[in-house]
Structure 1
């Protein structure tokens, strides 16, 4: 193909190198288009395992992979590391801190952000878990608390240092609480000889009356029982109202002294979406039609956590399988448009539920797929296999597998270095 012909090819711009963005670009590998993939980071992040970085189970480079390396063999993809600041809908251009990038088709796949529900104290002093920096901050902080507690003579101050609160009873909260328990009671317990680990406390706080609300009741109960065995204190029907870095206040006035609050209780679209001039709905997500096009902007597709897509009377959840399926659909739709097939002549998007799963630690997980319900070791093995297979690179798959096996047999978390940030 000649250079001039290449320049006249349609231009697809993808904002976001997460699950959705990467899969749209891959889905267009053989299409006669030029693709620009924009992200403010130069890596693709496997978010479901962030909690393992936060609890010293995995390293940063185990769950992140350079975007350029992903597409080194796909010549129609150009990566731009840039901060998107807005859209010029009239001229069909993405505005970035490195210049304008014009498009024929735009895919917005910017993911989600932590929702603190307007609680400024929680946002300022608590820890979210949506990116690498936050996960590393949690790891540094938890390890530092044990270092400080190891020579703190005041029992009240020491107990506050050793109290770790996770807010949110969804998969992230459950997995974080379980992983914290294993780090504290199976690893650190053997290394801090002068600490009384009966003073350590892990609390999982949930505003509703159940954990893993989308799971069947028997798997919810299994999760609850497993966490209790792991010495996690479960607080249901409890709402957090404030946090100042040292004291967490609950609705009703109860105060829990703690230096560590991990917030896994809410998700919304990223603040960038507020600047793109798209119609928004709950959680600030962009409203899309049955073809995943933004309202009044047929050239703009929105997928994943950023998209407010209603199916069966409610918006789809903000989870990776939704983004992955929507990405495949949008790639197919764009290829259809390139062949002259109007969008209304194509199939509308429909999400196929692939089930739910969560791990609670060593030999413990719950899996619900269709009518299949599994708990315990086999659920844990299935969860581990699925997550390893979803990692982008073969090296990452092997390293994560080896670290998990090492931890399984010797209870050793090797990533316990406190780094400066």
Structure 2
């Protein structure tokens, strides 16, 4: 692999998500060599993927080139590749483009979709973890509506206009709300031969309320918002199968649908080579100490969703969301600078800045400490926070313009089937 030897400590980072970017930014001017590996050449702002999948935003509004992010970083090298294995004895990694030696390794690979071993669901449902997957959902949604507009088979039209989402966490709730608003704002104008009442959005959750990680107060508000938008919420309902045409639940319910979106869970995305005590198999996360160092290793670290830092307040590790990843990345970057200077390290302490989710226009819910509220104020706060954390000034401007346009016109401008979706 063509990475020059500079005599500086080589830090290899795997994953250009929130954790990896936050870590590298802290070392911009340090006398180290940083090599970043990622399967894509861009960073994805995952909290807004659902807006790409429902035609609210184009993908370039929430993605940013990794090389551009670190253009001014000293001795930085990016390689678009898959990291396949870690040789912990020789301090080398094997990738799809060759092998590379490291002095320090930082793993920030995030999560992948968890189907809980159900192969039919894995094969036939639509996940939403990446930009290509979000574009697949957008294409499939629009294609199915186009088909429904011309079919004379009433049962087939119903199946094409029946949208089923598994999982009522923030992703599922936001996706359900966006689809319901699409029905109200777009269907009657673009498809006059289709009746708005023919399109259904079902949100299925195994627990007894939506947004289980959030407070009961905002959960109830979100539930009311969803029902007001016309979303049919099915609680304490577990999905057992999906054959490509019918979603089946364990209590005998059937939903005929051509669009089944799986947002019911994630699991860590570890790399081969680190096992045993260091890998918690039930969660597929690396067990780390208070400095994000993987247990049993002196020079290998894990950040964000893939890291399991057990503590009194977080016995099962920190939530697999953006803020812990960002904060861990920053803390580890600061600790690397202290380590090179021989200064004592600071253990990681998570500052919970709150949780929020949007359900639709003027409808969002927020948990911040003891404050739990919802409505228009929460919605504007949600917009501000998400704009603030988008990478790149252009992305913020474009996203703000799109949101303003949609707010004024009740429109979703990105209703384009650029690449028709085909299974397999």
Shorter-chain TM-score: what band? over 0.9
Report if aligned partners of 1:273, 1:286 keep a CA contact under 8 Å in 2: no
Report if aligned partners of 1:87, 1:277 keep a CA contact under 8 Å in 2: no
Tell me the equivalent position of 2:108.
109
Query: Per-residue deviation at 1:240?
Result: 0.2
Query: Per-residue deviation at 1:336?
Result: 1.8
Tell me the equivalent position of 2:91.
92
Q: 1:273 aligns with which of 241, 246, 271?
A: 271
Distance (whole Å) between structure 2 residues aligned to residue 306 and residue 214 of structure 1: 19
Tell me the equivalent position of 2:210.
211
Distance (whole Å) between structure 1 residues aligned to residue 207 and residue 401 of structure 2: 37
The more displaced of 229-238 and 347-356 is 347-356
Tell me the equivalent position of 2:241.
242
Distance (whole Å) between structure 1 residues aligned to residue 190 and residue 207 of structure 2: 37
Tell me the equivalent position of 1:306.
306
Distance (whole Å) between structure 1 residues aligned to residue 290 and residue 70 of structure 2: 30
Question: What secondary structure does 2:271 align onto?
Answer: helix
Question: What secondary structure does 1:21 align onto?
Answer: helix
The more displaced of 370-379 and 320-329 is 370-379
C-alpha distance after superposition, 1:78-124 (max 9, x if no partner) = 11111111111111112112122211111100111110101111111
Query: Per-residue deviation at 1:373?
Result: 2.2
Note the aligned Cα RMSD (angstroms). 1.4
Distance (whole Å) between structure 2 residues aligned to residue 353 and residue 165 of structure 1: 32
Query: Per-residue deviation at 1:277?
Result: 4.2
Report if aligned partners of 1:292, 1:301 keep a CA contact under 8 Å in 2: yes
Tell me the equivalent position of 1:287.
287
Tell me the equivalent position of 1:7.
6
Aligned length: 413
Tell me the equivalent position of 1:370.
369
C-alpha distance after superposition, 1:291-313 (max 9, x if no partner) = 11112112001011111111222
Query: Per-residue deviation at 1:322?
Result: 0.8
- How does the TM-score come out when normalised to structure 1? 0.95
The correspondence of residues 97-246 of structure 1 with structure 2, limited to 5 A, is: 97-246=96-245
- How does the TM-score come out when normalised to structure 2? 0.95
The structure 1 segments of at least 4 consecutive aligned residues displaced by more than 3 Å after TM superposition are: 274-278
Distance (whole Å) between structure 2 residues aligned to residue 217 and residue 175 of structure 1: 17
Distance (whole Å) between structure 1 residues aligned to residue 377 and residue 273 of structure 2: 45
Distance (whole Å) between structure 2 residues aligned to residue 192 and residue 55 of structure 1: 16
Query: Per-residue deviation at 1:213?
Result: 1.6
Distance (whole Å) between structure 2 residues aligned to residue 87 and residue 10 of structure 1: 18
Report if aligned partners of 2:9, 2:103 keep a CA contact under 8 Å in 1: yes
1:257 aligns to 2:259 (yes or no): no
The more displaced of 48-57 and 253-262 is 253-262
Report if aligned partners of 2:85, 2:272 keep a CA contact under 8 Å in 1: no
Question: What secondary structure does 2:85 align onto?
Answer: strand
Distance (whole Å) between structure 1 residues aligned to residue 100 and residue 22 of structure 2: 21
Distance (whole Å) between structure 2 residues aligned to residue 39 and residue 215 of structure 1: 31
Gaps of 5+ in 1: none
Distance (whole Å) between structure 1 residues aligned to residue 418 and residue 273 of structure 2: 34
C-alpha distance after superposition, 1:196-222 (max 9, x if no partner) = 221211001000001112222221111
Question: What secondary structure does 2:150 align onto?
Answer: coil
Question: What secondary structure does 1:37 align onto?
Answer: strand
Distance (whole Å) between structure 1 residues aligned to residue 101 and residue 245 of structure 2: 48
Distance (whole Å) between structure 2 residues aligned to residue 175 and residue 246 of structure 1: 24
Distance (whole Å) between structure 1 residues aligned to residue 8 and residue 179 of structure 2: 51
